[in-house]
Structure 1
Amino acid sequence: MHTHPLAHPHDPHRITRTGWLRAAVLGANDGIVSIASLIVGVSNASAEPRAVVVAGVAGLAAGALSMAAGEYVSVSSQMDIEKADIRRERRSLHSQPDIELEELVRIYEARGLAPGTARLVAVELTEHDALGAHVRDELGLTEVMAARPMQAALASALTFSAAGSVPLAAALLAPQGSVAVVVWLVTLLALAALGAIGAIAGGARIGRGIVRVLVWGSAAMAITSGIGHVFGIAA
């Protein structure tokens, strides 16, 4: 069987990871930050250990389900839009093929092909797979970038649960009276690790990934901690 050579077989393109990686990083980041923020806020408002544990467990369960549902609904909406555009393109190819061909020619000319070459490419691709050519080159949709609701939902829910269990475990193991401090420290380490993992998986700079996650995660925890402190004093 004939196979096509690859320019870099040992270093594949990372764009193929876009769908699940986005949902996984989002779920993990939300799991760490939201559960840690919840625990820190509750611990500042109430010194009762049971209240902290109950809040953390409830937040973990509710958050995982919410992330899964949110990802599924949002990505399903994206998929509906993609399908609607493809249906419209199919109808247009049937009713006005000449206009659609000229659209392809202009697209290829805009990308740098000479007019004659652009027309030749457009004609040959139209004869081979007209709908596929328009979906790819006019709409910008590919199999790699296609919306996958269930994949996004599962990736988000699983990573939320796994990452959210880190600050919850820290709270359970922390000495009484120092829950907030321990959760803060553990969460910052977890966020740094998440930033590094996400950067490596996406082929980005590790330092930038770590800083980005730490800054926003710390800000969220600080705000929640302040709110919990205010309500604790008020109580």
Structure 2
Amino acid sequence: MSASTPQAEAHDHSHSDVSGGWLRAAVFGAMDGLVTNTALVAGVGGGGAAPRAIVLAGVASLVAGAISMSLGEYTSVKTQNEQLDREVEKERRELERNPEGELRELTQMLQVRGVDEALAREVAVQLSRDPETALRLHVVAELGLSPEDKPSPMTAAVSSFVTFGVGALIPLLPYLFGVAVLWPALLCGGIGLVVAGALSSLFTPRPWWFSAGRQLLFGAAAAGITYLIGAAIGVTVA
């Protein structure tokens, strides 16, 4: 190689795990826990319940919600993976029964992505020599999912369980420390929503203040509605 010829410089880079199943479940769990128990505390407190009753209701909501979230996440992710497995097997049968038709399909996929027809056919033939490579290409192109990068149901379940529990605990902290009025609990819930929203922005192109403000707005709306309902029911019952 000539001394004047520049060499390609390799740059190491990595991407976040967007298919592992933990991030969506963790964000969903944290936000759901925060909004659910902040709204619950607002509704029960607005109805005039005693601090002990608010704590009891909040802890029951925390436990039930965390279990429900984790089971729901596990089942939904497991079902999604099983559906993908079924589609992969369907594609595998098509490759075995109609290899020429699948070869033409792969050629067309490459052409759509800008490869010339003759070269697309040549590349498709080479790729199809390995049935597993051809299968993976067809599945990714047709379904938009990789059979090798399926999210983990257990990871999603554990993530949602833990984050829901932590989120649901935050609005209860003032009562657990002996505070007997409502506003500190709502303040803690609001701070939790702001922090959770800001942390979620680390994984997105959104500025932290946008994500934080959005979550605070959602939580405030839920808490405000349930407070009014709780107050109305409390007055009626009284």
Alignment length (residue pairs): 227
SS of aligned partner of 1:59: helix
Unaligned runs of 5+ in 2: 1-8
Query: What are the residue-to-residue correspondences of 1:1-235 with 2, within 5 Å?
Result: 7-9=11-13, 12-16=14-18, 19-128=21-130, 129-142=133-146, 145-173=149-177, 175-176=179-180, 178-179=181-182, 181-235=183-237
Deviations 1:83-110 (A, max 9, x none): 1110100110110011111111111111
Structure 1, gaps ≥5 residues long = none
Distance in 1 of aligned mates of 2:218 and 2:79:
27
Instruction: List 4+ stretches of structure 1 deviating above 4 A.
Output: none
CA shift, 1:233, in A, is 0.9
Show CA shifts across 1:146-185 (max 9, x none): 2321111111111101121111113323632x22x11221
**Structure with the greater alpha carbon radius of gyration:** 2
Greater Cα offset, 164-173 or 70-79: 164-173
Deviation track 1:117-144 (CA, whole Å, cap 9, x = no partner) reads: 2222222221132212212222222267
SS in 1 for 2:38: helix
| Conserved? CA contact 2:20–2:150, under 8 Å | no
Shift of 1:25: 0.2
Q: TM-score, normalised by structure 2?
A: 0.88
For 1:173, give the aligned amino acid: F
User: What is the DSSP-based 3-state SS (H/G/I as helix, E as strand, rest coil) of the residue aligned with 2:179?
Assistant: coil
Structure 1 vs Structure 2 CA RMSD: 1.9
Amino acid at match of 2:144: G
Contact 1:44/1:232 (<8 A) preserved: yes
> Which whole-Å CA distance do the structure 1 matches of 2:43 and 2:49 have between them?
11
Deviation at 1:18, TM superposition (A): 6.0
Q: Deviations over 1:12-38 (max 9, x none)?
A: 223536621110000000011101111
Cα deviation per residue 1:176-230 (whole Å; 9 max; x = unaligned)?
A: 2x22x11221111111111111111345322221122122122111111111111
Counterpart code for 2:79: S
